[in-house]
Amino acid sequence: MSLIENTPLVSVITVVYNGEKYIEDVIRSVLNQTYNNIEYIIIDGGSSDNTISIIKKYEDQISFWVSENDRGISDAFNKGIAKATGELIGIINSDDWYENDAVEKVVTNSNNADVIYSDMQLWKNNKKDFIVRGDHHFLTREMTVNHPTVFVRKECYHRLGLFDIEYKLAMDYDLMLRFAVNKCRFKYVPEVLSNMRWEGLSDINWLTGCRETLQIKNKYLPKRKILNHLYFYKHVLAITLSKLIRKTRTEFLIKTYRSRYAKVKKIYE
Any domain includes 87: yes
Mean of pLDDT over the chain = 91
Q: What is the rounded average pLDDT of the residues 215-224?
A: 97
Any domain includes 88: yes
Q: What is the rounded average pLDDT of the residues 180-192?
A: 98
pLDDT digits (tens, 9 = 90+) for 9-43: 999 999 999 999 999 999 999 999 999 999 999 99
Any domain includes 116: no
pTM, 2 dp = 0.89
- 116 with 150: CB under 8 angstroms? yes
Any domain includes 86: yes
Any domain includes 80: yes
CATH number at residue 50: 3.90.550.10
Tell me the H-state helices in 109-202: 154-160, 171-181
Confidence of residue 65 (pLDDT cuts 50, 70, 90): very high
Any domain includes 45: yes
pLDDT digits (tens, 9 = 90+) for 77-135: 999 999 999 999 999 999 999 999 999 999 999 999 999 999 999 998 889 999 999 99
- Distance between CA atoms of residues 40 and 89, nearest Å: 10
Cα 114-117-123 angle, rounded to 5 deg: 160
Q: How many domains does the chain have?
A: 1
Any domain includes 176: no
Any domain includes 168: no
Domain that holds residue 93: 1-108
- Distance between CA atoms of residues 74 and 63, nearest Å: 21
